[in-house]
C-alpha cells in the first residue's frame, strides 16, 4: 500500500503480511515510514493506494474503533495510560464493566480487580498489587500490562510501537518475553523497532523500510543477524561511510628544527 501527504510520499508500495502465531518485525530508522504504517494498520489514517486486507477481505479502515472491532490492537510508546490511576483501572480504561441500573449504576470494581489480576497472571506477570498506581511500575511492566490488556479484549493482531525503545537491557528482555507469549497465544504480532538485535530474538519475518519504501523482506531462515543488521544500517552506504571515516597514518609532528624555530 501507499500513503501520500500532498506531494510527499510517506509510503510507496510497502507490502506486509501478518499471520496468526507469528511475529513480523518492521525495521527502519527515523523517517523510514514506520509511524505511517502503524497509523494505517490501526485505522488512524486511510491508505491512498494498494490493498489492505483482513482475513482475505479488503478493508478501508476509517477509525481506530473499526480496527479494534476487527481485532487489531495497537500499543503505542506512550501506552495511553493514566499514571495516577490503579493498574486495574488502566486495564479497563474505556471499557469498564458496570453493575446496577439507572441512578444505581456503578463500576464493577471487584470484577475489574479480579480480572486484571487473573489476566496478568495468565501472561506470567505477577504484580505486587493491582491497586497501585500504574505510574509506579517500571516501563517494562507498563508495556506488559498493555500487552495483556490487548489480549484480554480479544485482539487477533497486536501492533507494538517500539516497545523497548526507552528501556534498559533487562526490562527489554522482559517485554520481549511477553511479546513471545502473545505470539504463543495465537496472535499475529507486528513489532515496530529500530533494534535488529531485539527483532531477531523473537521475529519470524522481517520487513525493512527506508524513506517510505521497501528496503527488504525476509523470513527468519533466509537471513542472519549480521546481514539483517547490515541492511538495517544501510549496507553499502555504511561501508562507504566507514571507508571515508577510516583514519590515515598519524601526522608526523616532529618537524625539522629550522621549521619549529622559523618566525610565524
pLDDT score of 262: 53
DSSP designation for 249: P
The pLDDT of 3-12, averaged and rounded, is 88
pLDDT tens digits, 163-216: 888 788 888 888 898 899 889 989 999 999 888 999 999 999 999 998 888 888
Spatial separation of the C-alpha atoms in residues 148 and 127, rounded to whole Å = 13
Q: Looking at the predicted structure, is the pLDDT value of residue 258 above 70?
A: no
What's the whole-model pTM score? 0.80
Instruction: Give the pLDDT confidence of 145-155 residue by residue, as tens digits.
Output: 888 888 888 88
Top CATH class, 3-82+155-244: alpha beta
What is the model's pLDDT at position 140? 82
Say yes or no to pLDDT of 94 above 70. yes
Chain mean pLDDT for the chain: 85
79: region left, alpha or beta (phi > 0 left; psi from -120 to 50 alpha): left
What SS3 state is found at 237? helix
**Structure confidence at residue 248 as a pLDDT band (50, 70, 90):** low
Assign 240 a pLDDT band (cuts: 50, 70, 90): low
In sequence order, what DSSP letters do the residues of 105-173 get, joined into one string?
-EE-HHHHHHHHHHHHHHTT---S-TTSBGGGS-HHHHHHHHHHHHHHTT-SEEEEESTTTT--HHHHH
The ranges assigned to domains in the chain are 3-82+155-244
Q: What is the pLDDT of residues 110-141, one digit of tens each?
A: 999 999 999 888 877 887 789 999 988 888 88
Measure the CA dihedral 208/214/220/221, to 10°: -140
Contacts (Cβ under 8 Å, ≥6 apart) of 238: 230
Residue 125 CB contacts under 8 Å (≥ 6 apart), including other chains: 141, 144, 145, 148, 178
pLDDT at 78 over 80: no
**Which residue reads 525503545 in cell numbers?**
165
Amino acid at each position: 500500500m501507499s500513503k501520500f501527504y500532498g506531494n510527499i510520499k510517506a509510503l510507496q508500495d510497502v507490502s506486509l503480511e501478518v499471520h496468526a502465531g507469528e511475529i513480523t518485525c518492521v525495521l527502519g530508522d527515523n523517517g523510514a515510514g514506520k509511524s505511517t504504517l502503524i497509523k494505517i494498520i490501526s485505522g488512524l489514517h486511510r491508505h491512498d493506494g494498494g490493498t489492505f486486507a483482513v482475513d482475505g477481505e479488503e478493508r478501508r479502515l476509517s477509525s481506530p474503533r473499526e480496527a479494534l472491532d476487527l481485532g487489531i490492537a495497537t500499543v503505542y510508546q506512550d501506552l495511553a495510560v493514566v499514571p495516577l490511576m490503579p493498574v486495574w483501572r488502566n486495564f479497563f480504561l474505556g471499557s469498564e464493566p458496570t453493575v446496577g441500573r439507572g441512578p444505581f449504576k456503578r463500576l464493577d470494581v471487584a470484577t475489574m480487580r479480579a480480572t486484571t489480576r487473573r489476566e496478568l497472571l495468565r501472561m506470567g506477570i505477577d504484580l505486587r498489587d493491582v491497586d497501585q498506581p500504574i505510574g509506579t511500575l517500571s516501563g517494562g511492566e507498563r508495556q506488559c500490562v498493555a500487552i495483556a490488556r490487548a489480549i484480554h479484549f480479544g485482539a487477533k493482531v497486536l501492533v507494538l510501537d517500539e516497545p523497548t525503545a526507552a528501556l534498559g537491557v533487562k526490562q527489554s528482555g522482559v517485554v520481549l518475553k511477553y511479546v513471545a507469549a502473545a505470539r504463543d497465544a495465537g496472535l499475529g504480532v507486528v513489532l515496530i523497532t529500530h533494534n535488529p538485535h531485539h527483532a531477531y530474538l523473537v521475529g519470524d519475518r522481517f520487513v525493512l523500510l527506508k524513506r517510505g519504501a521497501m528496503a527488504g523482506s525476509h523470513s527468519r531462515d533466509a537471513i542472519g543477524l549480521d546481514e539483517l543488521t547490515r541492511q538495517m544500517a544501510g549496507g553499502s552506504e555504511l561501508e562507504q561511510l566507514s571507508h571515508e571515516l577510516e583514519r590515515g597514518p598519524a601526522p608526523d609532528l616532529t618537524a625539522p628544527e629550522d621549521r619549529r624555530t622559523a618566525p610565524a
